[in-house]
Structure 1
Amino acid sequence: MLEALPPDLARQSVTHSSWTDKRADSYERLAFLGDSVLGLAVTTHLYPRLEPDAYGAGRLTKVRAQAVSGRSCRDVAERLGIPERLMNAAPPEFTGPATEQLARTERVLASVIEAVIGACYLEFGYEQVSEAVVEAFQPEIERALAHPADFKSALQEQLARRGTVVVYEVASEEGPPHERTFEVAAMVDGHELARGSGRSKKDAEQAAAESALESMGGA
């Protein structure tokens, strides 16, 4: 499908912002669009497949977050030959070790595969692209179902793609030492994203991360 893209869209989807005078000519806007298309395609694939009693909203969100994580996007990009396309697209003055390093960076590869999805969506429409996305990400989807990451890891994967991190703060402690209950807040850039409680700080952090994933929905 990438080969069938018009030259301008194909070129933009692998153009780093440092290679052009106009940031709008880079892959960034396409990646923004492709991120949403990717999330919807995987969600639409998972939703009817998984039993409602076993996979509530929180667990579905966790599986999707892992399936479309930066690591997953990088793996798909490498299988599709995106690093080579990136290096070939670099202007002559940018070729060399720096570009080779760029083409191996998870954040860059994740953004480029999202940009490719966005470009394909603009050219071919959602139905064709969603089928291609599910096919391309099938190994990552199966891995997320067979070997789920914990909620904290899934949340951090989501936030890492935005360039932010989560910090867990104990909001309250109640009960005697042998029956202590902790309430923990998941904080991002000084703002509370969600809260969770548990019999240990670790359990409360997991609960807060799960609530945060649910609140983020298609984030």
Structure 2
Amino acid sequence: MPPRSELEPSPVATSRAEALRELLDELPPELYRQVFAHASWAPSRAESYERLAFLGDVVLSLSVSTYLLPRFEEYGAGRLTKLRAQAVSGAACARVARALEVPERLRAAAPADHQRAVRALLESERVLASICEAVIGACYLAFGLERTAAAVLQAFGPEIERAIAEPFDFKSLLQERLARRSQTVEYRIEAEEGPPHKRRFVVVASAGGRDLGRGEGRSKKAAEQEAALAALERLEREDERDQGTPD
């Protein structure tokens, strides 16, 4: 989890989130309650924010992808994927969640006997990110894609610009994640294809005795970055499967 200072939204980000915050305030009461219902106190798991977060993740990805595609006509699919992944990362969603006043809203929505648990939940980037996605999913159900996507793009504008100006090093991110498991990543060249002037490399990232991700690129470094991104996405899916919940 990034330091708290990295999760805090800037004044500009808070201002940009105003349209999405207004949609959140306009939600029907039942949807609003579900957005801030953690599985530990919701009447049933299906009535917690998890299903809304599942939907919101798709809406967020579609909204950002639709924005990026015409803006960066020279980018290939791999580069667009990396840019989108950074713009909608857990840390990015957590910052938007804070701009939406999610911590304060979650405290207000939680039952009195769960307030201590709420303090722990709010320390989790994953929880903040999941509720941010739940907000987006609920707004989509209530107001449709066009209105929701416009508010989402405004709220995530600073995150998109951050991703453009300061692109992630996915190899470093993967190594940091694996270090928490006392593992190290290794990269091996699986194939070299094409003539010398148009060579393409296929690289596999592995750790703990298993292959985690595969990437292709015009250089070894580019292929390693793609393999690291694929590995990060796999680890994320495995974490969600093992926990049985997005938080």
Change in 2 beyond 3 A, CA 1:203/1:141: closer
Greater Cα offset, 32-41 or 148-157: 148-157
Equivalent residue for 1:61, pick from 74, 81, 84: 81
**Unmatched 5+ stretches in structure 2:** 1-22, 193-200, 238-247
1:120 alignment counterpart: 139
Deviation at 1:151, TM superposition (A): 3.5
User: Cα distance 1:138–1:197, how it changes in 2: closer, same or farther (>3 A)?
Assistant: closer
> Secondary structure in 1 aligned to 2:40?
helix
Structure-2 change in CA distance of 1:188 and 1:32 (3 Å): farther
- Correspondence for 1:170: 188
**Aligned-pair CA distance for 1:150:** 2.0
Can you list the C-alpha shifts for 1:30-81, whole angstroms capped at 9, x where unaligned? 000000000000111111111x33x211111111000000000000000110
- Provide, for residues 3-28 of structure 1, a one-character-per-residue CA deviation record: whole Å limited to 9, x for no partner: 11011100101111111241001000
Tell me the percent identity: 54
**Using the alignment, how far apart are the partners of 1:130 and 1:25 within structure 2?**
24
Alignment of 1:156-167 (within 5 A): none
In structure 2, how many angstroms separate the alpha carbons of the residues matched to 1:122 and 1:169? 43
Of residues 23, 27, 39, the one that matches 2:45 is: 23
8 A Cα contact 1:185 1:193, kept in partner: yes
**What code does the residue aligned with 2:88 have?**
V
Q: Which residue of 1 aligns with 2:96?
A: 76
Deviation at 1:184, TM superposition (A): 3.7
Aligned pairs (5 A) from 1:135-214: 135-152=154-171, 168=186, 170=188, 184-186=203-205, 190=210, 193-196=213-216, 205-209=224-228, 212=230
TM-score by length of 1: 0.77
Aligned residue number for residue 3 of structure 2: none
**Which residue of the partner structure matches residue 126 of structure 2?**
107
Q: Indicate how the Cα distance of structure 1 residues 62 and 153 shifts in structure 2: closer, same or farther if over 3 A, else same.
A: farther
In the superposition, relative to structure 1, how do residues 80 and 206 fare at CA in structure 2: closer, same or farther (>3 Å)?
A: same
Letter of the aligned partner of 2:69 in structure 1? Answer: Y
Q: Distance in 2 between matches of 1:107 and 1:14?
A: 14
Letter in 2 for 1:10: Y
- Is the 2:191–2:203 contact (alpha carbons within 8 Å) kept by the matching residues of 1? no
RMSD: 3.5
Structure-2 separation of matches of 1:191 and 1:31: 29
TM-score by length of 2: 0.69
